[in-house]
Amino acid sequence: MFGHWFKRNGSTNGASSGRYRNGNEHLIDLRQVVKAYETAAGPFYALKGIDLQVDTSEFLAVVGKSGSGKSTLINMITGIDRPTSGDVLVGDTAVHTLNEGRMAVWRGRHMGVVFQFFQLLPTLTVIENVMLPMDFCHMYAMRERQERAMYLLEQVDIVDHAHKLPSAISGGEQQRAAIARALANDPPIIAADEPTGNLDSKTADAVFELFERLVDEGKTILVVTHDRDLARRVTRIVTLADGEIVDELMRKKNGRPSSLNSQEAADA
């Protein structure tokens, strides 16, 4: 179902020594990340001192119950939200230090984000939504932008809806459009919050096949998911509970566990 367009860059600019500009040896490095939200009853801690490292070409799933901090964790990495304290390092960039303008440009070039509820602009057609990141970051020549957008829509099987508004297509089709948009600038990192939650099982399987192929080509994929069957296909599972990492499970390429240290691992 999916083809091969995604070969432009597979990582951010690491130093030849294996270290990035801020001293991190990993593509993604979260150091003692805390996120607190003020409430009438006092601060609510969505993340409590998270330490997490992710390397190039990892396929990481973040799992846990509702309210465990999964989406907040992904939002720290993408720069959509900022930590109350701690460091978020992605490649050569200290993400937590960027202002809003620099954050938007950085995210547009280095992160492909798939939101849980699509976040397509309602007044733009599907193809215009996919082209938007290219326009914003001045990526590709004008003629190439439309060609690339059509190709991506073809790969997610909605090319026939290219010139429709999001309101004219189904929720599953909107999610596929959102995935195509996330791939628009060929980013080294894809972060997806429940990317298959509104897709039928066949399309969900095809999306994970695409993610697996992208990882094989050097991309790093972070996925929040409640789908245990799909979670078994990643290379590492991180389990959150009450804002803390309570378990990690590494998997070999064949999908079998390489280490077992919890009931979650035993159930997998």
Rounded Cα gap, residues 237 and 251, in angstroms: 8
pLDDT tens digits for range 214-261: 899 889 999 998 888 888 899 999 999 999 999 999 876 554 454 434
Which domains are present in the chain?
56-71+99-267 (3.40.50.300)
pTM equals: 0.82
Give the pLDDT confidence of 38-89 residue by residue, as tens digits.
999 999 999 999 999 999 999 999 999 999 999 999 999 999 999 999 999 9
Distance of CA 178 to the CA centre of its chain: 12
Cα 217 from Cα 236, distance rounded (Å): 17
Q: What is the pLDDT of residues 15-45, one digit of tens each?
A: 444 589 989 999 999 999 999 999 999 999 9
Contacts of 263 (CB under 8 A, 6+ apart): none
Residues 6+ apart with CB under 8 A from 105: 137
> Residue 7: pLDDT above 80?
no
> From the centroid of its chain, how far is CA 256?
23
139-159 burial string, b = 16+ CB within 10 Å, else e? Answer: bbeeeebbebbbebbbbbebb
